Chains A and B, each alone.
Chain A
Amino acid sequence: MMISAGALGTIVVIATSIATLAPILLIALFLHDWKRGRLW
C-alpha cells in the first residue's frame, strides 16, 4: 500500500507549518514570562 503524493504533501506541509510557527510561539511565551518576571 503506497502513500499518495497528495497525502505525503499534506503531512509534510502540516509538519513544516507547525515547525515554522513553533519559534513564534516560543518567543511569545518568552515575552509573556519576561513581562511577568517568570523567566526563572
Chain B
Amino acid sequence: MTVPADSAILPPGIAWALLAAFSVLWVALGWYLGRNNKTAEDHMLAGRNVGLALATATAMATWVTANTTMTAPQLALQLGVWGMFGYSLGALGLILFAPLARRIRELMPHGFTSGDFIRLRFGKFTWRVFLVVSLIYAFGWLVSLAMAGGVLINALSGIDYRVGMTIILTVCVLYTLLGGLRAVIGTDFVQTIIIILGVAFIAWLTIDKVGFEAIHFNLMEERPELLNLLFPAAIMFLFNNLLFGVGEIFHSNVWWSRAFAFGRSVGFRAYLLAGLLWLPIPIVAGFVALATPALGINVPVADMVGPLVAAEVLGLTGAIVVFIVVFAALASSLDSLLAATSDLVTRDIYRGHIRPRASEQEQFRATKVMIVLLGLLTWAAASYRGEIPVVGSLAAVLYFTGAFVASAIWPVVAGLYWRKTNPMGAALGMIAGTGLGLVGYFAIGFYVAALIGAAVSLAVILLFTWLAPREFDWSRLAEAEPRNGAMANGGVP
C-alpha cells in the first residue's frame, strides 16, 4: 500500500527537511566519533572501555526500535492492556542479560563475537548451527527494519517507499562505516534522548487532552475486551514476548559485542539500568492506542495507530514529533545491527571459514566491506517487497523469528554457567526448538513460537547432558586468539 503525498499526515517539504537535517547530523557525528579508529578492535568494540552513560543509552536505543514505537500501540489495540504490558516485559531480556554480560567479560576478556563463544565452548558443528540461526535472525531483522523505514516514512510523509528506505539505509551504512561501534554508540545516545522525550511528550498530551475517564468509558462501550485482565491470547502473548525478548538479547551479537565493548565493571550496571528505564516505554507508546475510541479515530492499518493518534491530538507538531522519533528509532537499531552483523560475518565467516590467518588490518578492511555488502543485500531484499502488506504484519514478521531466537536461550545460558553441558545437545536443541517453534507459529499462532522454541530446546539440552555430560575448562574461553586445535575442535575436549 503506497500513501500519496496529499493524504499523508506530514507535508513532504517538512519531511524532506527533517530527513536531510538528521541524515547530516548522524553522518557527521559518526565521522567525528570514529575518526581515530585504527584497528579492527577499535572499529568493532570501540576500545573495550565504554562508560556507563553511553553504555546504558546504547542498550536502550538499540532495544527501542520502530517495532517498539509502532508495534506497542498496535498490540495495545489488538490485545489490550496485556498487549502493552506484555511488550514491556521485553525489558526483562536486558535485565537478565546484565549478569551474563559481566560473566562474558570475565570469561572472554579478548572475545569479539557471540560466535567466538559458541565455537570455543561447543565446537564447530554447534557453532555453524548457531551462525545459521543468528544470521537468519539478523538479516531478517535488518530487512524488516529497512522495510519498516520505507513504509513508515511513506505513510507519514508520502515520500516514495524505495526513496525513504534507501535514504535511511544509506545514512546508517555511511556512519557505521565511518565510525564503527563508536559512531553507533555515540549516535545512540542522542537518539535515545530524542525517542524517549518524543514518546513521553505524545503520551502526556494524550492524557491531558483526552483523560483516563474518557478513554476507559469509551473502551468499555466499544472494545471492553481490551480492558480484560483475563484475555487468554494476551496472557499467552505475555509469556511468549518475555521469551522472545530474552532469546533475541541472549544470542544476538548486537548485545554480545556491547558486553565486550563496555568497561570491565560497566556491563552489569548498564544492562540493568537500561532494562529498568526501557520497561515503561512500551506502556507509554502503547497507551495512546487505547485513546482511539475516545478520539473517534478510524484505524485502517493497526501499525499506524500511534502516528494517527499523535496527529489527531497534536496536529502538525504531533506528526513532526512522530517522524523524528521513528527516524531515530529506526537508525538506532539499524546501525547496531549493521555493525554487529558485519562483525559476526567478518570474524566467524571470513576469518573463521575463509581466511583463518587474516591479519588485523585485513579484518579491519573486511569489516568495512561487510558493512557495505550487508547494506546492499538489505537494500536489494527490501527493494523487491512487491505488494507484501508489511505495515499490516510488522508484529507477525517480528514474531516469526521468535522460534529461532528462543531456541538459542538455553545453549547460551547453559554454555556460560553449566560446565557439563553437552555440545551436541546445544546444537540439536537449537535445531529442534526452531523447527517445532515454527510448526507452532503456523499451526497455532505467532504468540506461541518462542514458547515452544525455548521449551523444546531446554528439553533437548537437559536430555543430552543427562545422558552424556561433558567437562569443560572455562579458561579455554579466555585465549586471545583461538589456537588451531581449538578452531578445529571448537575447544571440546
Q: B-contacting residues of A (Cβ < 8 Å)? A: 1-6, 8-9, 11-16, 18-20, 22-23, 25-27, 29-30, 32-34, 38-40
Does residue B233 face the partner (Cβ distance < 8 Å to A)?
no
Contact of A3 among B229, B279, B280, B284 (CB under 8 A): B229
Does residue B196 face the partner (Cβ distance < 8 Å to A)?
yes
Contact yes or no, A3 B193, CB < 8 A: no
Nearest CB of chain B from residue A4's CB, rounded to whole Å: 8
Q: A-contacting residues of B (Cβ < 8 Å)? A: 46-47, 49-54, 56-57, 60, 81, 88, 182, 189, 192-193, 196-197, 199-200, 203-204, 207, 212-213, 215-217, 220, 224, 227-230, 263, 277, 279-281, 283-284, 287, 290
Contact yes or no, A26 B207, CB < 8 A: no
Q: Closest B residue to A28 by CB, please name it.
A: B53
Nearest CB of chain B from residue A17's CB, rounded to whole Å: 8
Distance in angstroms between the alpha carbons of A22 and B212 in the assembled complex: 23
Contact yes or no, B56 A29, CB < 8 A: yes
Nearest CB of chain A from residue B75's CB, rounded to whole Å: 15
Contact yes or no, A29 B53, CB < 8 A: yes
Nearest CB of chain A from residue B199's CB, rounded to whole Å: 6
Contact yes or no, B51 A12, CB < 8 A: no
Distance in angstroms between the alpha carbons of A15 and B57 in the assembled complex: 18
Q: Which residues of B contact A27 (CB under 8 A)?
A: 193
Contact yes or no, B51 A5, CB < 8 A: no
A-B CB pair tally, cutoff 8 Å: 105
Contact yes or no, A2 B224, CB < 8 A: yes
Distance in angstroms between the alpha carbons of A31 and B46 in the assembled complex: 19
Distance in angstroms between the alpha carbons of A5 and B218 in the assembled complex: 11
Nearest CB of chain A from residue B283's CB, rounded to whole Å: 4
Contact yes or no, A5 B213, CB < 8 A: yes
Contact yes or no, B228 A26, CB < 8 A: no
Distance in angstroms between the alpha carbons of A4 and B2 in the assembled complex: 39
Nearest CB of chain B from residue A34's CB, rounded to whole Å: 8
Contact yes or no, A23 B212, CB < 8 A: no
Contact of B189 among A6, A15, A19, A26 (CB under 8 A): A26
- Top 6 nearest A-B pairs (CB, nearest first) are A15-B280, A5-B216, A29-B53, A9-B212, A15-B283, A30-B53
Nearest CB of chain A from residue B327's CB, rounded to whole Å: 17
Nearest CB of chain A from residue B478's CB, rounded to whole Å: 24
